[in-house]
Structure 1
């Protein structure tokens, strides 16, 4: 697989990490919402996104058409739209604490999302951010395991040293390829294929499902 240029990581880390932790964004780090919903809200047009998300779930439009129409609805909202949306949106607790703990143990961190790259990049604590460039290069659910596999190869890691967190059906293709997974406030379909399940409001607590030692603050 060749990762398109727009899906390349925002930052890179050393080439020999001890492990890799992969996080979904919409619904996982953004509980109960999506980046597109928050962008639309900041742009003053949430109705359009609600309709587009319903049409996408029903299979009436594909991800490319979704991106085209979504971008049209907020393109005039200003250059700072994505940052404004990020600053105002709800986020799960414990993100920075979790990233700090992983980094201290030489675990590379990766955020992977179908949502717009400009929003995802506002999560500045991740070593790698893979996201979509609207409307030309859209990351689909089936791309997630391919991106993770390519990153594993680049970093010299295998599945035994990779963990993943997600919440929805779009994470099913990735979860099916990994054995160390945590479904966070998940849909039934994802919970059915996940190794572990966490329901709550703290990603730090979700990490403890895999690493109980993190109960220590050291």
Structure 2
């Protein structure tokens, strides 16, 4: 049975949305972030350049707006309950996202053992983005390995939950994965597929079937 559960954020824990979209909504910049998101998804913008442009777009961002974006985001139901169950079983859970760390780390308060996001300056911004701290999809595998080493586990003890191209490398590296409201890039690789808005239902696929394979 999995002992380390690794969750993507955008499109996975957030239903049909992403942290940058929810943050930009607070600034009235939904159209502008939409253009950047499409370019990023289409691989027209590499992660560091995307981050640099987002930092410029959010020049006036405040801590209060980040909190409002987090609180008002379309989260899946049952996240805290699932993470509480994982920890009650003596297992671990972490969030690995390409989105800004100042948003992702708020999930520590919901029961995640660890969170990882692209490293942005402290809000309100006073410095440029350190491009060396911006995560790319390959970083998810590296971080998974680091967490395994920290907790005395191996990749065979892990399950990944994700939805899109940024999760492909991680899905390919782990024996069990759940495609969450996903596109074909990950659903074709996943051990299980889930469509819906309740993390408890997706988590149940893992609990019932262990490391068995076959889409649901």
TM interval, shorter chain, is 0.7 to 0.9
Per the TM alignment, residue 65 of structure 1 is displaced from its structure 2 partner at its CA by 1.0
Distance between the aligned counterparts of 1:20 and 1:149, measured in 2? 11
Aligned equivalent of 2:167, options 154, 167, 171: 171
Distance in 2 of aligned mates of 1:57 and 1:163: 24
1: CA distance between counterparts of 2:199 and 2:63? 30
Alignment match, 1:216: none
Could you tell me which runs of 5 or more consecutive residues in structure 2 were left unpaired when the two chains were aligned: 121-128, 210-216
After superposition, what is the alpha-carbon deviation per residue over 1:155-176, rounded to whole angstroms, capped at 9, x for unaligned? 1101232111111111000000
* Structure 1 position 161 matched with structure 2 position 157: yes
1:47 counterpart residue number: 31
Which residue, out of 92, 101, 115, partners 2:99? Answer: 115
CA distance in 2, matches of 1:162, 1:151: 10
Residue 132, structure 1, aligned to residue 118, structure 2: yes
Provide the TM-score with structure 2 as the length reference. 0.87
Aligned to 2:63: 79
Task: Quote the Cα distance in structure 2 between the aligned partners of 1:159 and 1:149.
Answer: 7
CA shift digits 1:106-128 (9 cap, x unpaired) = 11110110000111112122110
1:22 touches 1:112 (CA, 8 Å); kept in 2? yes
Count of paired positions: 196
Q: Find out whether 1:149 has 2:133 as its counterpart.
A: no
Aligned to 2:23, the other structure's residue is in SS state: helix
CA RMSD of aligned residues (A): 1.4
More helix by share: 2
Query: Once the 2 structures are TM-superposed, how far is the Cα of residue 212 of structure 1 from its aligned partner?
Result: 2.5
Q: Which moved more, 1:71-80 or 1:113-122?
A: 71-80
Unaligned regions of 5+ residues in structure 1, if any? 1-17, 214-218
> CA separation in 2, counterparts of 1:119 and 1:158?
28
Query: Aligned residue for 1:30?
Result: 14
C-alpha distance in 1 between matches for 2:117 and 2:185: 23
